[in-house]
Amino acid sequence: MNKVLTLIYVLFQLCTTIQKNSTIEGKVTDLKGESLLFATVALYQNGVLIHGIETDMEGNYFLSDIKPGTYDMEASFVGYATQKQTGLIIKAGSNRVNFQLSDDAVLLELGVEIKAYKVPLIKIDCTTSGSTISDEIRKLPTKSVHEIAATSAGISDEEGSDISIRGSRSEETVYFLDGIRVTSGGKESKTPKESGRSGLVTAGEWNDLNNWEKWSELLKQDEFKNMNKYWGIHTEHRYPVFMANENHDPIQGVSVFLKNDKDSIIWSAITDVHGRAELFDMSASPSKNPVLQYQYGNTKNKIELRKKNKEEGTNITIKTGCKSTSKANIAFVVDATGSMGDEIEFLKSDLASVIENVESRNTNVAISYGSVFYQDKGDTYVTRAQDFTTDERQLISFINKQNAGGGGDFPEAVDSALLHTLNLAWEDDAEVKLIFLILDAPPHFEHIERYKNAVIKAAKMGVKIIPVTASGINRETDFLMKFTSILTNGTYTFITDHSGIGGNHLAPVHDEYEVEKLNELLVRVINGYVYSTPCEQNTVTHKNKDVAIHPNPAKDVIHVEASDRNFKNVDVISSTGQLLIRINETDKKKVRINIQDLISGQYFVRITYDEKVITKSFIKMD
């Protein structure tokens, strides 16, 4: 009998203990009800942080093992006003607390500034020595950096020159005024002698998606084989997708999903104007029987994927009409820290010329432009943004007002910049969505998960990220940017030393690229992603009297034939104009080209005669 009573007592105590444990779950959305993924949710009790978590891909969060009681909760996200809920009574069992965040109106104005750094008046930042001189500052009639510096021993100042601290380079001298970081005399750096001159910076492009075998071999080399582990990004389980209609016109806007053995979505993407999408399984234990699911209007289907789908891609035919590009959203995201000072003025000039050229060459496409400039926590600002506008003059004006400043350490707030950019007013019906990420440093390593989640979100939204790396990056950052372009179905571009502008630039791991002017390269890439074959020029039935390509679509080989003259050069180029295959000095009227290594998609053949060039598209379909 005693044993029975003891057992009952133990069970009672166990149930009581279980009931004491509470959970809190909920969702964070904007005022329109759109989910805010990777928003921060914090739980406080008596002013002390108890728990913090980020929302998932659907904006949901879940907190467990919470003791019943009275709490305060807070939800925040870059570009939105923080919402606090105080005096929440959390009962035993399940509790639900939702948040709706409003856009901070200030953040959507021209020249938005987000200051997310609170420090004392003077903060010592990664230096061997320092002094707090608040009292001395208060006695000064003004808060000039030069006057402040003169109050500390070991500091010299000459009018018209940088402040010098004994034992330190001038660019490493850091001050904080009213909690705001100021460097090199407190002014953002400029290069006035070279400002306003476009077309000087040189650059190159390399698309790893179009050179997948080389990418796979690269990751096997001793020097680079640990890059995927270093960043926690794995691209080996890649599933390319190509969508077309019955006339072999590429179909844009098809939502495609990769599902695992448990029918859970592990990757989402949207086909671009060339009908291509990229799916990846980056799980710790990749699915043995992955499934591809796609949806386009009322058309919905599932396909079980096999090994050949990784090697050759998946071709899908949908019964639908043809659609040309009508809208494009393009965002320029620029690292504006002090280390970009040598090149940012050139970049601004090139961006202005890029915008003007893109507008003139795409008169039938409504293009909206946006921009985010970023620095880091502790600098003058974290992000400044110009939301999307069809008035390119407004964007150019915003860009021309920006200068380099701040920084000091190597990593910057790249994750915050990307998340802010993805929360701009992207148009749902825009067929083209591009981000040009111009930078010379990686995100902080402790924020790498936020960065990766931003990249995953971009892929889900159908936003391509095209990095443009400047001087100062290391090989790890180089590979992170390559990973970024791969995961978002973009391409990788990099500034080179050929112009002599700025510091030394890291040499790319591949040397098979063409050196171009940066502004011309960006125009080419944008035009390549925006352009879609006009519906009246069906890929297969459209004929050219001078040149014929057959078969079209093709699997392994295409034959290019001229009607009345010999070719000089025949090139196969990607949709963005990158050279993939070149046959020189053929001096023939017929050329056979092996396209077996290309993945499914739309490509172009560029035929050069002595006096003219003809470009014609074809479809590679396995």
Is residue 178 predicted with pLDDT exceeding 60? Answer: no
Q: Which of 299, 318, 337 is the last residue of a domain?
A: 318
Looking at per-residue confidence, does 391 or 49 come out higher?
Answer: 391
Domain count, the chain: 5
Residues 50, 22 within the same domain? yes
What mean pLDDT do residues 532-548 have?
60
pLDDT of 337: 86
Residues 368, 446 within the same domain? yes
Chain mean pLDDT for the chain:
78
Confidence bin at 153 (pLDDT 50/70/90): very low
- Which DSSP symbol is given to 465? E
**CB distance 557 to 572 below 8 Å:** no
Residues 501, 576 within the same domain? no
Residue at 219: amino acid letter: L
d(C-alpha 238, C-alpha 279), whole Å: 6
d(C-alpha 327, C-alpha 325), whole Å: 6
| CB count in 10 Å sphere of residue 315 | 19
**CB distance 505 to 496 below 8 Å:** yes
What mean pLDDT do residues 310-316 have?
84
Residues 359, 434 within the same domain? yes
Is residue 164 predicted with pLDDT exceeding 70? Answer: no
pLDDT tens for each residue of 393-431: 898 889 888 888 766 667 888 999 999 999 999 999 999
The helix or strand, by DSSP H or E, that contains position 440, with its residue range, turns out to be none
pLDDT tens for each residue of 456-510: 999 999 999 999 998 878 999 999 999 999 999 999 999 988 777 667 788 888 8
β partners of residue 299: 296
Looking at per-residue confidence, does 22 or 566 come out higher?
Answer: 22
pLDDT tens for each residue of 51-108: 878 787 678 888 988 999 999 999 987 667 889 999 999 999 999 999 998 865 434 3
Residue at 249: amino acid letter: D
SS3 of 374, please? Answer: strand
d(C-alpha 595, C-alpha 556), whole Å: 5
pLDDT of 198: 62
**CB distance 281 to 266 below 8 Å:** yes
SS3 of 519, please? Answer: helix
Residue 79 placed within a domain: yes
d(C-alpha 467, C-alpha 456), whole Å: 15
Residues 400, 512 within the same domain? yes
Exposed/middle/buried for 537, CB within 10 Å: 0-12, 13-18, 19+? Answer: middle
**Mutual orientation of helices 448-461 and 414-422 as an angle, nearest 10°?**
30
Q: What is the largest CA-CA distance in the chain?
A: 107
Residue 582 phi, psi (nearest 5): -130, 135
The helix or strand, by DSSP H or E, that contains position 410, with its residue range, turns out to be none
What mean pLDDT do residues 265-272 have?
94
Is residue 293 predicted with pLDDT exceeding 50? Answer: yes
**CB distance 183 to 168 below 8 Å:** no
Percent of the chain with pLDDT over 90: 33
What mean pLDDT do residues 168-193 have?
40
Residues 273, 382 within the same domain? no
Residue 226 placed within a domain: no
d(C-alpha 316, C-alpha 294), whole Å: 9
Residues 85, 66 within the same domain? yes
Residues 262, 283 within the same domain? yes
d(C-alpha 413, C-alpha 451), whole Å: 9
Is residue 257 predicted with pLDDT exceeding 90? Answer: yes
Confidence bin at 128 (pLDDT 50/70/90): very low
Is residue 139 predicted with pLDDT exceeding 80? Answer: no
d(C-alpha 462, C-alpha 424), whole Å: 14
Of 149-158, 163-172, 511-520, give the lowest mean pLDDT range: 163-172
**CB distance 202 to 498 below 8 Å:** yes
pLDDT tens for each residue of 337-368: 877 776 677 767 777 788 888 888 888 899 99
Residue 129 placed within a domain: no
Residue 197 placed within a domain: no
Percent of the chain with pLDDT over 70: 76
What one-character-per-residue DSSP string does 136-162 give? Answer: HHHHSSS--HHHHHTTSTTEE--TTS-
The helix or strand, by DSSP H or E, that contains position 604, with its residue range, turns out to be strand 601-608
CATH of the domain at 332: 3.40.50.410
Domain residues for the domain of 174 are 134-186
Residues 339, 388 within the same domain? yes
Query: Taking the model in full, what pTM does it have?
Result: 0.67
